[in-house]
Chains A and B, each alone.
Chain A
Amino acid sequence: MPVLSQQRWQLNLSCRLHWWKDGDECVVFNAVSGKTHFLNEMGAHTVRLLTVESLNRKELINRFTALYEDFILDDDVLHYIQDMLQHLEDQGLIEAVSS
């Protein structure tokens, strides 16, 4: 089992998001930045989960395990999640918070 940091994430509180959805994919418009973002299924779930409460990676992974029947955590998946969180933060959609 990979070691997970305790860093917590939440929705960037300065965002005002508007959603458009087609199947598993979403396009999100941030009315504050004026930017439009594409989110795949996991990205969209992450942003929605972090809208409700702040989560660390372990808690986020627990949510994914409940959401996806075929979810298996390995190093590749963990890297994917880390990259995704970094990307969402770079886009200004989520932010790291102190534990």
Chain B
Amino acid sequence: MKLAELPLIEIRRQLRSSGLCFQCGPFTTRLHSDLLEFFPAQIHHLHAHYPLVKDNSFSDFHVHLLRHGNRWRSQLRFWIEDEEMPFGLFPLDTALPFLEWGLNWCVATRAHQFLMLHAGVLEKSGQTLLLPAHPGSGKSTLCAALMHRGWRFLSDEFALVRWKDTAVLPFPRPISLKNDSIAAIRAFAPEAVMGPEFPKTPKGTVSHLRPFRESIERSDEPGRVRWIVFPRFQTNSSLRLEPIKKAQAFLQLTTHSFNYGLCGLRGFESVSRLIDACDCYTFEYGGDLEQAVTQLNALAEGLI
């Protein structure tokens, strides 16, 4: 059963009782909340295609999004069972962005069964593209654009690299678009299903893009990385896809990892295998998303 099939009244009941339990990629999240007015509808809309998990199943993350304060000045806090709070209090109407950031925090600080890279992951014709990037590089915008032009979307935030074979496990969470990229994607893909806009968050205005149903239904099909492309958005710059030396790509990739430093030799060996299997590029792009997609399509079709 998928989350979309659950009536709102039942979502509310689960949130305030045993928790709403759903699967995304390799993780099961159990979400508790007493924010029952607008938040359940946002979850219902944005997480529509995620499969629900039976009430008594194991959950990787037990997260709580609860009101704090009094009736005149109520805020929200995010916490994880038996753990510290990763953020301070935040406004009630920013529950959804903080839930997403909170889940990112859960994964980044706990999922050491994978080599974790801060990267977008997409696939075309059975070959996977890794887009490792620092915040503000246009990674999420590219992910959204490629998904709307036929690429299978595996992940926006985390590349979860399996130790044994360096396959990348899908983790198709909502794509978090910020500021100008919200309008850019609305113009590029008017059919895109997006959640509300949240202005004045610590990252500016944020809106979430719902992944395609197919991405979520194929969450058990890992990707084999064929290309590593380091994107960089630069306003008005011309398109430039340039090969880089693998040693440079190696070092750059380690800087995009959440846990390379913790993993010792295993991390080094995994990055070695990833780099050996890939062609590596830097990719500078300006405002023209259609042109950027065309260039990456050409790469996937072997025309570059």
Contact = CB atoms under 8 A, between A and B. Distances in A.
Tell me the interface secondary structure of chain B in the complex: helix
Interface residues of B, number: 14
B26 interface: no
Contacts of A27: 247, 250-251, 272
A36 B268 contact: yes
B246 A22 contact: yes
A97 interface: no
B264 A34 contact: yes
B265 A31 contact: yes
B245 A36 contact: no
B245 A25 contact: yes
Contacts of B245: 22-23, 25
Interface string A1-45: 000000000000000001010110111010100101010000000
B261 interface: yes
Interface in B233-251: 245-247, 250-251
A36 B251 contact: yes
A22 B248 CA distance: 10
A43 B272 CA distance: 19
B297 interface: no
Interface in B259-279: 260-261, 264-265, 268-269, 272, 275
Interface of B: 245-247, 250-251, 254, 260-261, 264-265, 268-269, 272, 275
13 contacts: A20-B250, A20-B275, A22-B275, A25-B247, A26-B247, A27-B250, A27-B272, A29-B265, A31-B264, A31-B265, A36-B254, A36-B260, A38-B250
